[in-house]
């Protein structure tokens, strides 16, 4: 490797670059925060290290390598998952309310028994979404003569379910 450049183009904020030159064994940091570094392991190419990954690090990461064999580049897209904070409680009308707070992407909510309710989504400034669903029995008859209802939260970062009787 003669030279290695990582160019980071975050979804929010200004781009930055880390440039390593083998002839000087120096890394030049251009507009990058301290949580982005090149790490060096003997026998391997320098690797990009991102410490404390969060939503602010989302974006495109392009690596360009110059060597005696030619110039090579590849781009990676970093997406950060934020697991929602699920909760289930009895609402003011005495029916179950399920909430999956501040998740990314938005969680999917479903009910057992099935409900005709629709989920409400509220977006937050940091890119997360809170999803709220109020159970609506409609024509559904409760099973086993109980009014136990289960909320199921589905999310790429994990699934959750809880039951309640209101």
Burial (0-12, 13-18, 19+ Cβ within 10 Å), 23: exposed
Domain ranges of the chain: 3-78, 85-165
**How many other CB atoms are there within 10 angstroms of residue 161's CB atom?**
14
pLDDT, tens digit (0-9, with 9 covering 90-100), for 109-149: 999 999 888 899 999 999 999 999 999 876 555 544 468 99
The more confidently predicted of residues 143 and 151 is: 151
pTM: 0.76
Same fold, 3-78 and 85-165: yes
Residue 107, judged by CB atoms within 10 A of its CB (0-12, 13-18, 19+), counts as: buried
Between CA 57 and CA 53 the distance in angstroms is 6
Q: Residues 95-110: what's their mean pLDDT?
A: 97
Give me the CATH topology for the region 85-165.
Immunoglobulin-like (2.60.40)
Which tops the pLDDT comparison, 98 or 12? 98
CA dist., res. 6 & res. 18, Å (int): 5
- What does the pLDDT read at residue 141? 53
- CA-CA distances (angstroms) from residue 128 to 21, 33, 87, 133? 39, 23, 16, 17
- Coil, helix or strand at residue 144: helix
Sequence-separated (6 or more) residues with CB below 8 Å from residue 13: 56
CATH superfamily assigned to domain 3-78: Immunoglobulins (2.60.40.10)
């Amino acid at each position: 490797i003669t030279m290695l450049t990582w160019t980071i183009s975050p979804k929010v904020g200004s781009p930055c670059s880390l440039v390593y030159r083998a002839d000087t064994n120096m890394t030049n940091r251009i507009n990058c925060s301290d949580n982005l570094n090149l790490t060096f392991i003997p026998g391997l190419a320098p690797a990009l290290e991102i410490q404390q990954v969060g939503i602010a690090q989302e974006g495109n990461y392009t690596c360009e390598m110059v060597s005696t064999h030619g110039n090579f580049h590849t781009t990676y897209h970093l997406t950060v998952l934020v697991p929602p904070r699920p909760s289930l409680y009895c609402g003011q009308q005495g029916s179950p309310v399920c909430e999956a707070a501040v998740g990314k992407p938005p969680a999917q909510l479903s009910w057992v028994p099935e409900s005709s309710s629709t989920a409400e989504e509220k977006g937050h400034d940091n890119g997360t979404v809170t999803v709220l669903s109020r159970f609506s029995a409609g024509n559904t008859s409760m099973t086993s003569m109980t009014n136990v209802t289960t909320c199921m939260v589905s999310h790429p970062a994990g699934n959750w379910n809880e039951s309640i009787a209101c």
